[in-house]
Amino acid sequence: MTGLDPIARLEAWLADAARTEPNDPGAMSVATVGADGRPSLRMVLLRGIDARGLVFYTNLASRKAAEIAHNSAVALCLHWKSLERQVRVEGHAELVSAAEADAYFASRERDSQIGAWASKQSQVLEGRFKLERRVIKYATAFAIGPVPRPEFWSGYRTVPERIEFWEKRPFRLHDRTCYERDGALWRSFKLYP
């Protein structure tokens, strides 16, 4: 079957999750692969979704950013326990535009903006006091006016090539629908549970 829109389905499932999940319905795992070939997995927050893909933000000096720079192939997983559903996405990550990153950064709470400046994400932290001193440093530096987005902070859009929807069914006969990109269209098929 072709011509279906898995992004619209994902948006509907996210809306359902926003009504039922107690915390962070946009929490998703992001899997990357390091230069050594080892996979790495962590949780991030989905901060945007449209026909182009799924967006999350991070420090560009982080481990995930270094791994994406080496190999842009990524996998995402959103799991909603309360709904007994999950979505798996496979594709490649690309940087969002500076304008998109600026707009999202400006929408964040001021404390989160200061935190982005203060954190040397994924680097060794010698002690909590060192981090707190960096927070004070940047809170003082940006005491007046808006906090600018650091050059080392931006977002990635995962451009999906495959999206799988999983929904729990009785007797472990779960419903699995897979969509694969076929040029500008999507084709879908069912998978055995």
Separation between Cα atoms, residue 12 and residue 148, nearest integer Å? 34
In angstroms, the CA 171 to CA 164 distance is 20
- The DSSP-derived string for 122-140 is TSPPS-HHHHHHHHHHHHH
The catalytic position among 47, 52, 172, 176 is 172
Told to judge if 19 belongs to the known catalytic residues of this protein, a careful annotator would answer: no
Instruction: Look at residues 84, 1, 99 and name the one whose alpha carbon lies nearest to residue 48.
Output: 99
How many residues belong to the chain?
Answer: 193
Q: Which residues are catalytic?
A: 172
